[in-house]
Amino acid sequence: MTRQDFTPNEMMTIAASRALTNEDVCFVGIGAPSAACNVARLTHAPDITLIYESGTIGTAPDVLPLSIGDGELCETALTTVSVPEMFRYWLQGGRVSIGFLGAAQLDRFGNINTTVVGDYDKPKVRLPGGGGAPEIATSSGEVYITMAQSKRGMVEKIDFYTSFGHGDGGDHRQRLGIDTKGPTLLITDLAIWKPDPETKEFTVLSLHPGVTREQVQETCGWTVKFADRLEETPPPTPLELSTLRDLKARTERAHKGAEAPGARKGSKDG
């Protein structure tokens, strides 16, 4: 499969999906994280447990939800609990292995801003806010982040700390009494990043097919560190790509209200 056969966003979503396993209990964010988690469920990890903030556990949506309140989540869930129970018992109780988040702004240590761009009192842009993301970032066993690269999004210093990553780096989380791992994986539309074991600064381990170091640096607001042995991300397989595209197509039809009768009740084989 050549570079022209898939888009950077498709590569990002599929690369993110590969990080998930059957054994994971994953707290899913809306948007790109939701797409990645459901591609994993529909391909190599059919037994993964997906949890959304509205209280749905073991959900298996046939289309991607518009929000955590989308009825598709409750209709396909094994069970639905109250939001306080979701956070207190499941998340803060240590029962979630992976928190999968997106970001409007991100710094090199995995700190996330989804609150405001600019000064808090007089922001240039007011964003949707944190929702449950701050708790997901501190209480999940580890955190995966996915986002498209841009200098506007990947910045030297975020304007607001919505979700705590590794703070100033090093053992900052531990010094604050946070005993979970924090961000352990960043997947963008250009590369796969992991934090340095000591400094916790995100380092590029793998470039997606056709991507250069220069492209990664040009779309990042800090000086990028690359692994000594830089790899190339395997391209999407035909199954991965067709699963993602079918999922997106079903979602588009459903949200436009033009879905064929019975389509949302069909098989989940992609």
Asked if residue 96 lies in contact with residue 141, where contact means CB atoms within 8 angstroms, the answer is: yes
Report the C-alpha gap between 232 and 139 in whole angstroms.
Answer: 32
pLDDT at 66 (0 to 100)? 84
pLDDT at 128 (0 to 100)? 87
pLDDT at 102 (0 to 100)? 92
Number of neighbours of residue 106 by Cβ within 10 angstroms: 28
Compute the half-sphere exposure of residue 121: CA atoms within 13 Å on the CB side of its CA: 0
Asked if residue 192 lies in contact with residue 206, where contact means CB atoms within 8 angstroms, the answer is: yes
pLDDT digit string (tens) for 230-263? 999 999 999 999 999 999 999 999 888 644 444 4
Asked if residue 24 lies in contact with residue 45, where contact means CB atoms within 8 angstroms, the answer is: yes
CA 114 to chain centre: 13
pLDDT at 269 (0 to 100)? 38
Asked if residue 182 lies in contact with residue 201, where contact means CB atoms within 8 angstroms, the answer is: no
Domain ranges, ordered by start, for the chain: 3-265
Pairwise pLDDT comparison (90 vs 1), residue with the higher score: 90
State pTM to two decimals: 0.90
For 3-265, CATH number out of 1.10.1740.10, 3.40.1080.10, 3.30.70.100, 3.40.50.720 equals: 3.40.1080.10
**Closest among 51, 53, 57, 55 to 37, alpha carbons compared:** 51
| Percent over 70 (pLDDT), the chain | 93
pLDDT at 256 (0 to 100)? 83
pLDDT at 261 (0 to 100)? 47
Candidate ranges 27-41, 65-79, 114-128, 181-195; pick with highest mean pLDDT: 181-195
**Catalytic residue of the set 10, 23, 53, 214:** 53
pLDDT at 69 (0 to 100)? 79
Report the C-alpha gap between 87 and 83 in whole angstroms.
Answer: 6
Report the C-alpha gap between 106 and 265 in whole angstroms.
Answer: 38
Indicate the average pLDDT of the chain.
Answer: 92
* Joined tokens for residue 89: 């018992």
Pairwise pLDDT comparison (265 vs 32), residue with the higher score: 32
Asked if residue 231 lies in contact with residue 191, where contact means CB atoms within 8 angstroms, the answer is: no
Is 265 a residue whose pLDDT tops 50?
no
- Region label for 118, one of left (φ > 0), alpha (ψ between -120 and 50) or beta (otherwise): left
Is 267 a residue whose pLDDT tops 50?
no
Report the C-alpha gap between 249 and 254 in whole angstroms.
Answer: 9
Establish whether 53 is a catalytic residue.
yes
Asked if residue 128 lies in contact with residue 101, where contact means CB atoms within 8 angstroms, the answer is: no
pLDDT at 71 (0 to 100)? 83
pLDDT digit string (tens) for 36-60? 999 999 999 999 999 998 899 999 9
pLDDT digit string (tens) for 118-165? 999 999 999 988 889 999 999 999 999 999 999 999 999 999 999 999
Which range, of 7-11, 13-17, 68-72, 209-213, averages the lowest pLDDT?
68-72
pLDDT at 266 (0 to 100)? 41
Question: What is the arithmetic mean of pLDDT over 88-112?
Answer: 96
* Joined tokens for residue 72: 């598709």
- Region label for 88, one of left (φ > 0), alpha (ψ between -120 and 50) or beta (otherwise): alpha
Give 253's contacts (C-beta < 8 A, 6+ positions apart).
Answer: 259, 260, 263
| Percent over 90 (pLDDT), the chain | 84
